Structure 1
Amino acid sequence: MAYCKSGARWLGLSALAALVLAGPTAPAHAGARTAVIPSQIIYPGEKIDASKLEEVEVTNPNVVEGFASKIAEVSGKVSTRTLLPGRVIMTNAVREPYVVERGSTVQMVVSVGLLTISAKGAPLQDAAVGDLIQLRNIDSGVIVAGTVLADGTVQVVTK
């Protein structure tokens, strides 16, 4: 293939035109991913405090998906396993904090139409907001099921 000055000039102009039409390019770091890592050991069952976390740029292209990329994703949650400094925090290694705990006393509420009945109950398991749990009515001993609400009460499920 022979070199042609006019052909080289045409390729140079078309490349320049392509760059102009494409517009300004984004900085190289704009598409960079971040990951959340602990700055100290966090043990299972420990509530995760934002002061123990930092966001770092992910430089390993082979890192698996499913890790937290923002501190807000894990701050305030509870660790389900030991989290080591310098290692990414996987989203399945944290859970929402429990609102009710097994053996404590909670308020159970049953609503049928305009009628609302409340009683004391003992949860048979730990649970976070929105979890369906079983409770024992403290007065009657009957076991019922209900959904945990944000205020710590349990809305009993009616049949």
Structure 2
Amino acid sequence: MKALATILLGTSILFSAGAAMAADLHGDVDVNADTIHLGDLFDALGPNQATIVIGQAPAPGHRITYDATVLDRIAAANGVDWKSTGNERVVVSRPSVDVTADQIQAAFTKALADAGAPAGMEVQLDNPGTVLRLPANSDSSIGFTNVNYDAARGRATGDLVIPAKGEPVIRQSFGARVAVMVTLPVLNRRVAPGETIAASDVEWTKVPRTRISGDVVTEARDLIGLTVRHGASPYQPVRTDEVRAPVVVTRGALVTMMLQSGNMTLTVQGRAQTEGGVNEIIRVTNTASNRTIDARVAGPDLVMVQPTAQAPIGQAPQGQFNAAATRTTRTALN
């Protein structure tokens, strides 16, 4: 009996030792090195097994998957006491520090400004979807060297380096379109013809200077309180000829025609042949003489007659109306 007990005890010890040597498979794992080691996949390995290199790690920000077949092959090749059931898998991921296109663009813009490019410019990378990935805990500061700006072509080039100081981990050339921007008031909605533009209808936006002509509205005060003639597109530069003063004299309306000369004021009744807003020039027919002349809209159903040189229809005259002699004054209203 004593001999049998000794045999059973020895067998138990052997089984226990065998169970202790069986490896366990890890779950999904992150690695922060350039290589994957056996110890990244399995626990309870024998001496020196954990440091065995089994493959190249994925690039920062990427991952690879080991399925059951590959895991069985790795275990067998390296003497690991493990056998799959056919369903296991391990995903090995490599964390990263991401440098986005927006960060690159901001750094490029600063580098151009430091190199003497004009202020207020907007830089658009040729490859705006770029994402650069560095190993976790890396210095992701961005620098640019060999920066060149071609104002005539609106182009810029430069070499990105990461980190900004020291030995570069990443060096890559970039090109970009460069536009000098101007801030303009624009409509934030479609305003119907004749509808008065309110302050809440106006926002400011940046547009390339190359899209600006001399007839574009540059001040909000030149929009607020006016109306659009034929409708203007939202968030687009507004031309000066697209807006006008609100119509206060409609076509066909009876109006008071007034002419002032010194201390004398003469008025007659007229009929508007065209519509107009305050300070615009319209055509008005004297209902008594049936003569049609130009007059400046002064207010609702009120126009001022100008006895001297007349401005084009629909435009405000330059300067003040000149006083005229009595004979000229009467002639203008007759």
Q: TM-score, normalised by structure 1?
A: 0.64
Contact 1:130-1:147 within 8 A present in 2 as well = no
Q: In structure 2, do the counterparts of structure 1 residues 104 and 85 end up closer, same or farther at CA, with 3 Å as the change threshold?
A: same
Return the letter of the residue paired with 1:96: A
Alignment of 1:47-58 (within 5 A): 47-58=196-207
Indicate the residue corresponding to 1:99 in structure 2: 248
Contact 1:34-1:70 within 8 A present in 2 as well = no
Please say which structure displays the higher CA radius of gyration: 2
Gaps of 5+ in 2: 1-118, 121-179, 308-328
Q: Which string of whole-angstrom CA distances, capped at 9 and with x for unpartnered residues, describes residues 51-98 of structure 1?
A: 11101233x343232322221121111112322222222222112223
Q: In structure 2, do the counterparts of structure 1 residues 146 and 33 end up closer, same or farther at CA, with 3 Å as the change threshold?
A: same
Instruction: State percent identity of aligned pairs.
Output: 25
**SS of residue in 2 equivalent to 1:150:** strand
Aligned mate of 2:231, from 78, 82, 89 = 82
Give the Cα–Cα distance (whole angstroms) in 1 for the partners of residues 203 and 195 of structure 2: 17
Q: In structure 2, do the counterparts of structure 1 residues 54 and 110 end up closer, same or farther at CA, with 3 Å as the change threshold?
A: closer
Deviation at 1:125, TM superposition (A): 1.0
Q: Which string of whole-angstrom CA distances, capped at 9 and with x for unpartnered residues, describes residues 9-46 of structure 1?
A: xxxxxxxxxxxxxxxxxxx45x9621122211122332
Higher relative contact order (CA 8 A, sep 6+): 1
Alignment of 1:76-155 (within 5 A): 76-111=225-260, 116-138=265-287, 140=288, 142-152=290-300, 153-155=302-304
Give the Cα–Cα distance (whole angstroms) in 1 for the partners of residues 263 and 219 of structure 2: 44
Q: TM-score, normalised by structure 2?
A: 0.34
**SS of residue in 2 equivalent to 1:51:** helix
The reply on whether 1:70 has 2:70 as its aligned counterpart is no
Give the Cα–Cα distance (whole angstroms) in 2 for the partners of residues 80 and 127 of structure 1: 11
Q: In structure 2, do the counterparts of structure 1 residues 53 and 113 end up closer, same or farther at CA, with 3 Å as the change threshold?
A: closer
Gaps of 5+ in 1: 1-27
Give the Cα–Cα distance (whole angstroms) in 2 for the partners of residues 61 and 114 of structure 1: 50
**Structure 1 vs Structure 2 CA RMSD:** 3.1
Deviation at 1:141, TM superposition (A): 5.5
Whose strand proportion is higher, 1 or 2? 2
The reply on whether 1:41 has 2:190 as its aligned counterpart is yes
Give the Cα–Cα distance (whole angstroms) in 2 for the partners of residues 126 and 145 of structure 1: 14
Deviation at 1:128, TM superposition (A): 3.1
Deviation at 1:123, TM superposition (A): 0.9
Give the Cα–Cα distance (whole angstroms) in 1 for the partners of residues 217 and 250 of structure 2: 27
Return the letter of the residue paired with 2:227: V
Give the Cα–Cα distance (whole angstroms) in 2 for the partners of residues 61 and 53 of structure 1: 20
Contact 2:249-2:297 within 8 A present in 1 as well = no
Return the letter of the residue paired with 1:33: V
